[in-house]
Amino acid sequence: MTTAEYRTIRLDSARAGTGPATWGQRAIWGVVSRLGDDAPRYNLPVELPVSPPRPVARVLADLTELLLLHDSLHTRFLPHGEDGLEQVVDGSGELPVEIRTSSAELAPEVSAALLGQLAGRSFDHTREWPLRVGLVESGGLVHRLVLVGAHTGMDYWGLGRLLRDLESVQAGETAESLRDSRPAVQPLEAAEVQASPLGRRRDEAARRYWIEQLTAGPRQIFRNPAAPELADDPTRRFPNALLRSPALAVAVGQVAEKLGVSDAAVLLGAVSHQLALSSGSSDVLFQVVVGNRFQPAAAATVSTVAQEALFRLTDADKDFADAVRRTRSVAFGAFRHAAYDKWALDREVAGLIEKEAAADHSYWWNDTRDPAVTPFDTVERPTAPLSELAGRTELTWPTEFLPRRNVSIAVDALTAPGALDLAMTADPAVISRRGMEEFLRGVEGLIVAEATALGDR
């Protein structure tokens, strides 16, 4: 039998203030506020075992320390006018907590159901703080913890930081001790910098870079789309494919080491090369999600900092190793221009589109992997040859999505136990399911073949 109880985490005397939203906050708020019933897909859900189980009061106290540490967790957003968005950091208030009581054996099942309930609802950003909490307890001890973040409060990198900070608090740290040892930029501070003359110059330079690249890039990347007659069908569904590859988890690091680049550059280079081969366009563009956490104080923040860089690789179809090597330098230039006022950029891009002067920028890459987490943290690294590991690759079709605005193909890289995942969502008007499978297996094949060849030299 499962019973439900509702409590709150009371926050008092926390940091408070009001100011303009940051560029990252404005960017994601502009997206989720338009999605309506589809907004929950932007929520960030996580469900964790609490090991060893801890008293309810102790878990609530740990979460209170997180609220005190990160202003974004007790922030609301108030729009005003056509171009204004204000962040309101509340110094006091209450965060609801849903508690389910069950047997220890049923705790994972109950927790999964609670996760679905909390993650399946949109956030009211004007009234709610961007965090929901659920606990599953048995005998007064919490066995499972459910957290659901609103994307306006954190991005995936911010969620990772939040979970690491939770581990620190569970080990005895406090908000005060963590602030002293690892200062983090708070959103109000970031907004102040962005509104300064230096911030305005950075914004202008980034938007200028975007316009230059969009003007120079190809107007259409996929030369022969799979089913162009579907492009105007609002009922079409975007398939989602997931390639889980033990071979990629091993090979990507080997190629990175041999070519003298990061494994992130290997993946982006491979995806770019494969897009060129699949589309028939030698020049490709990706909107690449960039964490924008290049400084320690930014890396320690829990907020929405990530934005898109416009990555344009020319002659991407010529040679795989060359494409990977050039990806590093091209990405560096693009990433330098990945922080800007998204609403202002959107207006400029709309002007280019109206004049039919904008490149096709409907291809997306998001490397969501946490550098602190590897595929082999919880499982043993395989010793089998790559040829054998490649035979263990799995490709599944987990779901379908409603049509996504300005998305032809979106590919995410994710870490899995003992494997590297590539998740791909695509417009069926552009590429078929067969084409999606060939694309994903092509990316895997490029990297595995390069690792094998390098190992033979």
Q: What pLDDT, on a 0 to 100 scale, did the predictor assign at position 177?
A: 97
φ, ψ of residue 186 in degrees (nearest 5): -90, 155
Domain 196-456 matching CATH 3.30.559.30: the answer reads: yes
CA atoms within 13 A on the CB side of 331: 24
> 405: Cβ–Cβ under 8 A, 6 or more apart, which residues?
none
Give me the pLDDT at residue 41, please. 87
Q: Tell me if 240 sits within 8 A of 398, measured CB to CB.
A: yes
Domain with CATH 3.30.559.30 in the chain: 196-456
pLDDT digits (tens, 9 = 90+) for 94-139: 999 999 999 999 999 999 999 999 999 999 999 999 999 999 999 9
DSSP string covering 32-47: HTTTGGGGGGG-EEEE
**How much is the pLDDT for 6?**
94
Q: At what angle do helices 263-279 and 320-335 cross, to 10 degrees?
A: 110
Helices 433-456 and 263-279 cross at an angle (nearest 10°) of 130
Rounded to two decimals, the pTM is 0.91
pLDDT of residue 175: 96
List, by residue range, all CATH 3.30.559.10 domains of the chain: 3-186
pLDDT of residue 457: 40
Q: Nearest 5°: phi and psi at 335? A: -70, -25
Helix residue spans in 280-341 (DSSP H) = 296-299, 320-335
**Domain range 3-186, CATH architecture:** 2-Layer Sandwich (3.30)
SS3 435: helix
Asked whether 236 and 407 are in contact (CB, 8 A), the reply is no
Please identify every stretch of the chain with a pLDDT value under 50, giving residue numbers as ranges: 456-457
What own/partner pairs with CB < 8 Å and gap ≥ 24 does 158-164 have?
A: 158/72, 158/301, 158/302, 158/303, 158/304, 158/305, 159/44, 159/46, 159/302, 160/370, 160/372, 160/373, 161/299, 161/300, 161/301, 161/302, 162/66, 162/70, 162/302, 163/46, 163/48, 164/372
pLDDT at 106: 96
